[in-house]
Amino acid sequence: MMSLTGSTFLYNPVIGVSRSYTQRRVRVSGPLVVASANSSSSNGKPGDRNATVLMESTLKEMRDAAPMSDADSKTTVGGGVEDVYGEDSATEEHSMTPWTVSVASGYSLLRDPHHNKGLAFSEKERDSHYLRGLLPPVVVSQDLQVKKLMNCIRNYQVPLQKYMAMMDYQEHNERLYYKLLIENVEELLPIVYTPTVGEACQKYGSILGRPQGLFISLKEKGKVLEVLKNWPEKKIQVIVVTDGERILGLGDLGCQGMGIPVGKLSLYTALGGIRPSACLPVTIDVGTNNEDLLNDEFYIGLRRRRATGQEYAELLHEFMCAVKQNYGEKVLIQFEDFANHNAFDLLAKYGATHLVFNDDIQGTASVVLAGVMAALKLVGGTLADQKFLFLGAGEAGTGIAELIELEISKQTEAPVEETRKSIFLVDTKGLIVKSRLESLQNFKKPWAHEYEPIRDFVDVVKAIKPTVLIGSSGVGRTFTKDVVETMASLNEKPVIFALSNPTSRSECTAKEAYTWSKGRAIYASGSPFDPVEYNGKIYAPGQANNAYIFPGFGLGLIISGAIRVHDDMLLAASEALAAEVTQENFDKGLIFPPFTNIRKISAHIAARVAAKAYELGLATRLPQPQDLVAYAESCMYSPNYRNYR
């Protein structure tokens, strides 16, 4: 019996199982298996494979299995703190996965997405792992498989069909899926994530195949730790969790928001090199207020109104405590698409006790700050010289504004109370001003200026005279022709970021921005837009996609063994991304680098984030590697097939 990095196959000579009658106990972190083999020869023919596999422990007994040895429990990494939970080795290759499957045929191997290679199994592998006759005779390379699958993807006309095809590949051949995504990232990123993932979440109940991730509902209250232990992988490094209340700009999608954690973690692996087995998608199902879903016979979540108050807080707290207990201090918990009030509360409540990160608040802020810093190379002047106006004062808007004020404060050594005076926010009731202070939510209050109330947005633009206009409202076409033309009349090169997702919610399109500004706008969006031709010139719009930041940011936290997230790490990530924009990119009007170099970019971001963690005393993986960029690259997951003996 041998373990093919996760699956156990009978009668493989690699670990020396005799062809004569043997009985062997294999200790793994899953159920205890006793395999018996009876054979008089060693020719590996099917007739020789008579096996009896006895499961000697239940799942519950497995969890109470023999304790680790002293050597196991005191493992340290390079002089760091005790790695009790195996956190530091979660991205390393493992000889066995938690579950052991007994097989007398390679049939099961072909259905194991972690190890299936399809037609790329070599002749030797087909003999060793009983695959003869289960595959056509041809042996092909992984590169040819990628070419074939891309041809299939391109034959689909509907983006959701492409999304479903990609999910099918992921469920059947994990390494091929990630190789496909890495090598075609610019073409496939809009498919596996925004904007297509929004539609996928809306229809998740109808298209759900094999469930991915953990669904933790109010039914599991009091048993969350037990639910976490149901997940087969035990060495988790990154968890992306949502409660589905604010999915992109689409609102409350309840349990069907699972598409977001699944998509984010695919990018953690493809763009940041985090091993798939170290990633865990989670949806917290506390109900939904979406009447359409509650009345949908195919809805997969709890059919009840969304829980609030103490009931909600208790489930989330149990989850946070269970994660720390089960996976340790250094597991990164990324909050995703929570409603504003919960997003800010969770970040404030757990930021001091857990390694937490909110991509909607902090990730968006970091990538937008990087875009603004890069845009200044085209506009001229410093960050402190700019005047910022935001349409949208939710998680994204206030998060970006806060990071900008921190960067200006860092550059000028002025207090944030002073740097804040050049930043203005508009919400659904107009410009945020002091006279509205009593009715404002707490996270908006710092942005209330002594100013006359103004309701109409174009009038706000005329009054404030911003140099940088940022949209995070979630409402499409709010940067009207009047707004863009006003920005162009005030600035030689107006900076306009229309960040709302999906594409239908973008404040303006790339074509509108370039046309209405007569080709002078420096434009970026949240969702991708095709290049625009205006007056015989081609303009390439930038995409302020969080995928530039969070994969490298997470990698930096992991390689340093960071135990907390600090604002200075976000600033370091922004500076690293802005530094990756080359003169060639600027010549094309780009303020973000192309995604074709994203893994290299992620490694540089990771190095800067890790360096800041060491500087702040928040790193536990000691000693600090001398070359953090090279170290980050060496830690990245490779999707290339492994050779099985």
**Separation between Cα atoms, residue 10 and residue 388, nearest integer Å:** 65
Catalytic residue among 193, 350, 539, 644: 193
The active-site residue out of 117, 234, 264, 444 is: 264
CB contact burial 256-287 (16+ within 10 A = b; e otherwise) = bbbbbbbbbbbbbbbbbbbbbbbbbbbbbbbb
User: Within a 10 A sphere around the Cβ of 596, how many other Cβ atoms?
Assistant: 12
Altogether, the residues listed in the chain come to a count of 645
Distance CA 246, CA 438 (A): 25
DSSP string, 219-267: GGTT-HHHHHHTSS-----EEEEE-SSS-TTS---GGGGGHHHHHHHHH
Asked if 610 and 560 count as a contact pair (C-beta separation under 8 A), the reply is yes
Q: Alpha-carbon torsion 551, 552, 555, 557, what sign? A: negative
State yes or no: is 156 an active-site residue: no
DSSP 352-395: TTS-EEEIIIIIHHHHHHHHHHHHHHHH-S-GGG--EEEE--SH
Calpha distance 292→253 (Å, rounded)? 10
In angstroms, rounded to a whole number, what is the distance separating the alpha carbons of residues 498 and 478?
9
Q: Report the distance separating Cα 565 and Cα 557, nearest Å.
A: 8
Tokens 């156990």 belong to 8
| Contact between 172 and 116 (Cβ < 8 Å) | yes
Question: Three-class SS of residue 348?
Answer: helix
For residue 156 the two structure tokens come to 């689909």
From residue 138, give the alpha-carbon distance in Å to each of 108, 120, 122.
Answer: 20, 9, 9
Query: What are the backbone angles phi and psi of residue 490, rounded to the nearest 5°?
Result: -90, -25
Contact 397, 468 (CB under 8 A): no
Q: Is the peptide bond before 453 cis (omega within 30 degrees of 0)?
A: no
Helix or strand or coil: residue 102? strand
Q: Let me know if 129 is exposed, middle or buried by CB neighbors in 10 A (0-12, 13-18, 19+).
A: buried
Q: How far apart are CA 384 and CA 182, in angstroms?
A: 38
List Cβ neighbours of 378 (8 Å cut-off, separation of 6 or more). Answer: 493, 522, 586, 589, 591
Q: How far apart are the first and last CA of the chain?
A: 13
Determine which helix (DSSP H) or strand (DSSP E) holds 425, and give its type and residue range: strand 423-427
Could you tell me which residues are beta bridge partners of residue 214? 282
Verify whether residue 264 is a known catalytic residue: yes
Biggest alpha carbon–alpha carbon distance for the chain: 93
Given the structure tokens 């498919």, which residue do they identify? 191
DSSP state of 449: B
List the catalytic residues: 193, 264
